[in-house]
Amino acid sequence: MGKLLNAQRVVFLSHSAELAGAEILMLRLLSEPMFDDVKVLLFSHGELREKFAALGISASVIETKSLHDFRRNGSAFSALSKIRPMVATTKNLSSHLRSGDLLVASSQKAFVLGCLVKMFRKDVGPLIWWLHDILTKEHFSSTNLRTVVLLSKLFASKVICTSEEVRSAYEAAGGKRSKASVVEPGIDLRIFTAEHETSRKRTKTAISLSRISPWKGQRNFLDALALLPDANGLIVGAPLFGEQDYFEDLKKHASSLGLDDRVTFMGHRDDVAEVLRSATVFVHVPDAPEPFGQVVIEAMACGLPVVVSNEGAPGRICSGGGGILVPPNNPSRLAEAINKVMSKPDYRGELARKAKTISAKYDAASMRRNFLRALNEV
């Protein structure tokens, strides 16, 4: 591992206590020693802090009520009403920072707080925005988009994007290309292996694995399974960001399609590799473009053939034959693709082999090297 040239200490800022993709990625990045001195500041209590402690990384929680109901698609008025509590949080955050600290904000809310710190403290080191989202009006209000892009121009020394798609959207929203670098996520390829493929594999089982959220495509997955009477489905994941009602609707939808005997809702699982290996085909076709989609690489590394959306990063990654590409929001095309994989063992094997080869590029060690290189460009 190279050396960080421009700072004594690196401080990662994260607002969420939930273990969603951005938080899992931060854990993956920091799971091997990378910096001489690193600290994590979180804005809510939860499992994440214990996970960092287990890695020997100091993580402190800065409590703030103001951030939890701060919406990505909120109006200017609702944002203004949060200013006072945000200033209080900023002061609190500032008290944890030393002169010269390099800040890496791993969520939008954390980035905004980082910008506020930079307004008050000239002695703090560069601020990096680790951007995991495709900044479009599908997911963010115009006010929010304009604000974060402007803040990035004023205060960010670098925007590290998790994919080319994330960088393009950032640029299209008005961000400066010269500030943006792409560092694609990497996974631990010693955990996500195909070697345990055994007779325990359930035949004709399609698996969807991601947090449960209205745009992640679980509803279309159910609709596709309803068209395939021989197929079983596993839906793995939990609603993480207050989307419990959608989860309940999803279960009702499965019942109304007569899928109770064929579909299992498994909830959140920590043994992701094991669960993936038990299925025949992995399906990830969200309604909107996926910024990166670590789950897709995880499934490919576990030797699963994948059916993914032709939009977003997975569509690009799998475009050379690493998976079947289908359009979003089209259950019949999805059912066709699942059926093709399930009914043709040779084709399945060929897809799985290609997927495995592609996944080998996405190892955590390369991500760490690329991340360090991006930080050293600041």
Residue where the block lists tokens 């990378």: 34
Considering the complex, state which of residue 21 and residue 305 has its C-beta at the smaller distance from ligand UDP: 21
Q: How far is the CB of 267 from ligand UDP (least distance, A)?
A: 7
Joined together, the tokens standing for residue 91 give 């002061």
Give CA–CA dist 200/327, Å, rounded: 31
Instruction: For Cα atoms 167, 170, 174, give the angle at the middle one, nearest 5 degrees.
Output: 140
Considering the complex, state which of residue 166 and residue 334 has its C-beta at the smaller distance from ligand UDP: 166
Q: For residue 313, give the nearest of 358, 276, 278 by alpha carbon.
A: 358
Q: What are the DSSP E strand ranges found in 203-250? A: 205-209, 232-236
Q: Is 202 in contact with 169 (CB distance < 8 Å)? A: no
Considering the complex, state which of residue 175 and residue 293 has its C-beta at the smaller distance from ligand UDP: 293
Q: How far is the CB of 19 from ligand UDP (least distance, A)?
A: 6
Give CA–CA dist 185/148, Å, rounded: 22
Q: How far is the CB of 261 from ligand UDP (least distance, A)?
A: 22
Q: How far is the CB of 216 from ligand UDP (least distance, A)?
A: 7
Residues that bind ligand UDP (CB under 6 A): 20-22, 24, 209-211, 236-237, 268-269, 272, 292-295, 298
Considering the complex, state which of residue 121 and residue 268 has its C-beta at the smaller distance from ligand UDP: 268
Considering the complex, state which of residue 125 and residue 303 has its C-beta at the smaller distance from ligand UDP: 303
Considering the complex, state which of residue 30 and residue 295 has its C-beta at the smaller distance from ligand UDP: 295
CB < 8 Å & 24+ apart, contacts of 50-58: 51/19, 51/27, 52/27, 55/27, 55/30, 55/31, 57/30
Q: How far is the CB of 346 from ligand UDP (least distance, A)?
A: 29
Q: How far is the CB of 35 from ligand UDP (least distance, A)?
A: 22
